[in-house]
Amino acid sequence: MKNKIIKSIYIFIAFIQVVLITAVFIIDNLTSKKAGVNHHIYYRRHQFEQNIYSINNLLWQNILAVVLGIIFLIFLIFAIKYRKSLFVKIQLSITVVLSFLLSGIISSQFFIDKLAYPYFIMVFQLILIIQILFIIVMGFVKIY
């Protein structure tokens, strides 16, 4: 019974993560097709670059993403060493990949050139936070 609840919660979380990623790519696509969306995203990007996504803040966010990736890589190594369940190993692997992917998005010229750059960062940070919270809750429920 507990495993069915955990699996259904995970499916819901995975669905939310996929919807967020899809939404940010749709927003980026709309910036080249709709002038109103383009102006709004341009204005908001300028606001974000002055505040939470300034160059200095992005450097710290990039460092934090790499540190989180290393921490969860160590957790993954321990999960493999102590023969935890496959589900736990997969969740830790996803978290490691998301951490380094966030770092890549922050520093990649491909994403920097996109008008929706702050939204890409925001969405992948949110997805990483959701994934980390799921791992924390998973630890409290003891499904491994």
**Is the predicted pLDDT of residue 61 greater than 80, yes or no?**
yes
Q: Which two tokens stand for residue 20?
A: 């967020």
In sequence order, what are the residues at sequence separation of 6 or more whose Cβ sits closer than 8 angstroms to the Cβ of residue 62?
Answer: 103, 106, 107
Using CA atoms, how far residue 8 sits from 1, 3, 4, 15, 120, in Å, is 11, 8, 6, 11, 27
Average pLDDT in the chain: 89
Confidence of residue 140 (pLDDT cuts 50, 70, 90): low
Q: Specify the pLDDT at position 1.
A: 66
pLDDT per residue over 92-132, tens digit each?
A: 999 999 999 999 999 999 988 888 889 999 999 999 999 99
**Under DSSP, is residue 54 helix (H, G, I), strand (E, B) or coil?**
coil
Asked if residue 76 lies in contact with residue 131, where contact means CB atoms within 8 angstroms, the answer is no
Position 42, amino acid: Y
- Quote the strand ranges of 33-85, DSSP E: none
Domain that holds residue 119: 2-141
Q: Can you tell me the distance from the alpha carbon of 81 to that of 140, in angstroms, rounded to the nearest whole number?
A: 20
Q: For residue 120, which of 35, 31, 9 has the smallest C-alpha distance? A: 31
Position 94, amino acid: I
**Is the predicted pLDDT of residue 60 greater than 90, yes or no?**
yes
**Is the predicted pLDDT of residue 15 greater than 90, yes or no?**
yes
Q: How many folded domains does the chain comprise?
A: 1
Interval 7-23 mean pLDDT:
92
The torsion defined by the Cα of 92, 53, 30 and 102, in degrees rounded to 10, comes to -20
The answer to whether the predicted template modeling score (pTM) of the entire model surpasses 0.85 is yes
